[in-house]
Amino acid sequence: MATGATQSNGTTIYSVAERAGVSIASVSRVLQGSTAVSEKTRKRVLDAAEELKYVPLAAARSLAVRHHEAHGLVLPELSGPYYSELLMGFESRAADLGQSVVLMLAEGKDNLPAAVRKLATRVDGLAMLGSAAIPESTVTALHGSKPVVLIAGDPRTDVDTVTSENTHSAEELTSHVLGHGRRTLRFVGDPDSGPDVRDRYAGFLAAHSAAGLTAAEPLRISLREADGTALADRILSGDLATDALVCANDELALALIKRLREGGTRVPDDVAVVGWDDVMTARYIEPALTTVRQPVRELGAQAAERLHQRVTGGSVEAGPLVIPTHLVLRSSCGCAPGHRPDPPD
């Protein structure tokens, strides 16, 4: 079973086998990382490969082991800090595991399930975000033919899920804002945009219920900076009255704070603003943003890890993997600066 072709220096797998004094099959097993060879044979093969400057070609090795040595990652888009952090975490862990990453964006795809099926022919498994932008038919497009890991999606019996805890932290965050005496809170973001936002809104509702209050309808906008700016303009014009905004992500919250302050509205005196994710800018803006720390990079890394375990037949714990989140109190909610230190990273 060949693992490489003739290289520019004329070296082949046959040359390595001859130098090491072993069979071609033994060379192939060593170069594939198989444990079915003795340590003595492994050393002889690796020494011979180094002496001959032999490096197996990736394409040939992929054919030999029937693996592409690549993971697919399907995201709705790449705008905003969330997706870049998720991608960096996924790619970094995949690289540690010796895998490359093939990225596909759902944005602009007329037939996403078909595009995913085509991508599956180039990778060993896929991870994709649980989002309204990636419909159910996309998740089931592979029909069990390749391992699939769903990121920030609802638990399923047919695919693995890796997600962050959302509901309890959102309830804690909302209760804290209510504790500042705010009573006309609005949830900013569309609960139908994905399971994570839906669960954050569920926490928002639970906090109101626990306080004997009726929550207002959510402000159903996309989670982009421009949408936050447009919402701030509605508040500044008097079109929308509120004393606190509980945002589904930091991108919205940061845009709201910036535009509201430019328009003369004081944050948090007039309107408290809180977010979700704890992106780097959250601690440097004035006022510093109260938010929920979600380990987005770890979310990506854990998705790559679990996908690799499925591809290689490794041991995988049953059920969804849920990563904890932590409330981070700063001053945009009304707390005095230094009210509580950030939790440790």
Domains of the chain: 13-65 (1.10.260.40), 70-164+296-323 (3.40.50.2300), 167-294 (3.40.50.2300)
Compute the mean pLDDT over every residue in the chain, rounded to the nearest whole number.
88
pLDDT above 90 covers a percentage of the chain that reads 61
Q: Per-residue pLDDT for 325 more than 90?
A: yes
Look at residue 317 in the predicted model and tell me its pLDDT.
Answer: 81
Give the SS3 label for residue 223: coil
Look at residue 55 in the predicted model and tell me its pLDDT.
Answer: 60
Q: Per-residue pLDDT for 341 more than 50?
A: no
Give the SS3 label for residue 177: helix
CA angle 264, 80, 77 (to 5 degrees): 140
Q: Per-residue pLDDT for 66 more than 60?
A: no
Look at residue 344 in the predicted model and tell me its pLDDT.
Answer: 42
Higher pLDDT among residues 310 and 200, named by residue? 200
Tens of pLDDT, residues 159-187: 899 999 999 999 999 999 999 999 999 99
Look at residue 340 in the predicted model and tell me its pLDDT.
Answer: 52
Cite the DSSP H helix spans in the chain: 13-20, 24-31, 39-51, 58-65, 80-96, 112-120, 136-139, 167-179, 195-210, 225-237, 250-262, 296-312
Q: How does residue 145 score in pLDDT terms, banded at 50, 70 and 90?
A: confident
Q: Per-residue pLDDT for 206 more than 80?
A: yes
**Identity of the highest mean pLDDT range in 122-131, 134-143, 192-201:** 192-201
Phi–psi pair at 33, nearest 5 degrees: 85, 15
Look at residue 67 in the predicted model and tell me its pLDDT.
Answer: 58
Write the DSSP symbol of residue 122: T
CA 127 vs CA 28, 45, 157, 285, 307: distances in Å: 30, 36, 16, 33, 7
Look at residue 242 in the predicted model and tell me its pLDDT.
Answer: 97
Look at residue 69 in the predicted model and tell me its pLDDT.
Answer: 82
Higher pLDDT among residues 57 and 272, named by residue? 272
pTM of the entire predicted model: 0.77
Tens of pLDDT, residues 3-58: 444 454 567 888 888 999 998 888 877 876 667 788 899 889 888 887 887 765 54
User: What average pLDDT does range 294-319 have in this prediction?
Assistant: 90
Range of weakest confidence among 97-106, 135-144, 203-212, 265-274 = 135-144
CB atoms within 10 A of CB 268: 22
Look at residue 233 in the predicted model and tell me its pLDDT.
Answer: 98
Higher pLDDT among residues 286 and 336, named by residue? 286
